[in-house]
Amino acid sequence: MARKRKTRPGRGPTIAVWSILAVSLGLIGYACSHTERASRTTTQVDRTATAAPLATAEPTVAPTLPPAALSSPSPAITTAARPAPQTSGPRLAIIIDDCGQWPVTERAFIALPVALTLSILPDVRYNHTIEREAASAGKGVMLHLPMETLSGVNPGPGKVTTEMDDDAITAQVEHDLADVDLATGVNNHEGSKATADARVMTAVISVLAKDGRFFIDSRTNAKSVGQQVATEHGVRTAARDVFLDNRADVDYSEGQLRQAAALAIRTGSAIAIGHPRPTTLDALRAVIPEFQAQGITFVLVSDLVH
């Protein structure tokens, strides 16, 4: 007869209870761990979302002005005060022709620490900007009046020709002066034909006489009558003595400047005309200390008209 197995009292239920308890504790631990990780992730995202954006470095080079900004008139002009004109000792007036086309080089001339005069073309891209910057710096401003050539080369917009009648010449000069409205005087651009014509020059000079502007004869033709007509009509006038840069060469321009300086020492004054070329700029920079050491004073060309 088979013997019955004895069962210990309470063992089955106790194991079951412990098993359930272990499973429950495991589930609770997993839940807590998952919740903590979720909380850390959410906090990290929030910090990223609210952080200040990284600062961007400012440009180290000033932005280039668009053409419109360069050619627009300045809203206000403050003309720099300058000392009274020198009346004793040698005086040298430098005119820089053809301005209003190469603003970088022209601004370098404006920045020179001596008096000089910029002669500015009408109806060119940067003429308003350059005339205002020159006036603000205490430099002289003239209209560089395009006039007809013997060679037939076109002197550019705003030109006066021998084919025009007196009324047309008057209207053209008035237009050009309105375009370079800070000009206190005029010199001819090209003009080897027009400046030798007494009728044409009388019409031009008559406009200047009305507004009290002066005339500088660039002397592109030895037969020019510009200075003579100006004197006859009571317009203050003078004429160019030396051209500085028929060649774009620093040594050549330095030599021409010394020729002008020698003339100023000998006669009391001289007028030299150059152009906005880097070689002319370098030559002028080189001789300024030398000329000042010789007692030569740089003046505006308006100081030499009579």
- pLDDT tens-digit series, residues 136-171: 999 999 999 999 999 999 999 999 999 999 999 999
With a cut of 90, say whether residue 41 has pLDDT above it: no
More confidently predicted of 76 and 159:
159
DSSP state of 160: B
Model confidence, pTM: 0.74
pLDDT given for residue 88 in this prediction: 75
User: CA 77, CA 135: separation in Å to the nearest integer?
Assistant: 8
Alpha-carbon Rg for the chain in angstroms:
41
Q: Percent of the chain having pLDDT more than 70? A: 72
- pLDDT tens-digit series, residues 165-216: 999 999 999 999 999 999 999 999 999 999 999 999 999 999 999 999 999 9
Mean pLDDT for the chain?
81
pLDDT given for residue 46 in this prediction: 30
pLDDT given for residue 133 in this prediction: 98
Non-local (6+) Cβ contacts of 99 within 8 A are 106, 118, 119, 120, 121, 127, 130, 134, 144, 276
Model confidence band, residue 30 (pLDDT cutoffs 50, 70, 90): very low
Q: What is the mean pLDDT of residues 68-93?
A: 57
- pLDDT tens-digit series, residues 98-148: 999 999 999 999 999 999 999 999 999 999 999 999 999 999 999 999 999
Overall fold of domain 90-303: TIM Barrel (3.20.20)
Element (H, E) at 156: none
With a cut of 70, say whether residue 65 has pLDDT above it: no
User: CA 142, CA 157: separation in Å to the nearest integer?
Assistant: 16
Sequence ranges of the domains in the chain? 90-303
Model confidence band, residue 49 (pLDDT cutoffs 50, 70, 90): very low
Q: What is the mean pLDDT of residues 297-302?
A: 98
- pLDDT tens-digit series, residues 52-61: 222 222 222 2
